[in-house]
Amino acid sequence: MKMNAKFIEERKVGLEKRRAELEKELASSAEQVAENDYDAKFVDLGDKDDDNAAEVAMFEKNLSMEKTLEISLYNVKKALKKIDEGNYGICEKCEGSINPERLAAFPSATACMKCKEKSL
């Protein structure tokens, strides 16, 4: 697999689709408070003990989902910005190129495999 205009265009289409999906998912569990910041929704179900327990459980679920989605969305946006700037596929840490196979499987990757392994 080679990094060329077509390869990058395909990643861009995939990333834009992913961005739309993530924004939709986030909208159902969280409210946007800033460009890259969302707060989990607190749903008011009522005042009975059962309602309160369900509210807390739902909030905790929204909270963990919101965090994961927010990070994914941030990375997807970052990758799209890199495409626009013409430095997509370049490792943020060592400035080497990221393996195209890795980008095909994980289009929002910002570090090469070697740097990724080092940071784990």
Q: Which stretch binds Zn ion (CB under 5 A): 7-15, 37-45, 64-72, 91-99?
A: 91-99
Does residue number 112 form part of the binding site for Zn ion (CB under 5 A)? Answer: yes
Q: Which of 8, 69, 76, 91 binds Zn ion (CB under 5 A)?
A: 91
Query: Which residues, including other chains, have CB under 8 Å from residue 64's CB and lie 6 or more apart?
Result: none
Number of residues near Zn ion (by CB under 5 A): 6
Q: Which of 17, 67, 81, 93 binds Zn ion (CB under 5 A)?
A: 93
CA atoms within 13 A on the CB side of 112: 13
The CA-atom distances, in angstroms, between 37 and each of 42, 52, 65, 67, 71 are 16, 26, 13, 9, 9
Q: Which is nearer to Zn ion, 46 or 96 (CB)?
A: 96
Shortest approach of Zn ion to residue 98 CB, angstroms? Answer: 7
For the chain, the helix, strand and coil percentages under 3-state DSSP, each to the nearest 5 = 60, 10, 30
Q: Which is nearer to Zn ion, 41 or 102 (CB)?
A: 102
Shortest approach of Zn ion to residue 107 CB, angstroms? Answer: 17
How is residue 62 written in tokens? 């929204």
Is the CB of residue 7 less than 8 Å from the CB of residue 100? Answer: yes
Residues forming contacts to Zn ion in the complex (CB under 5 A) are: 91, 93-94, 96, 112, 115
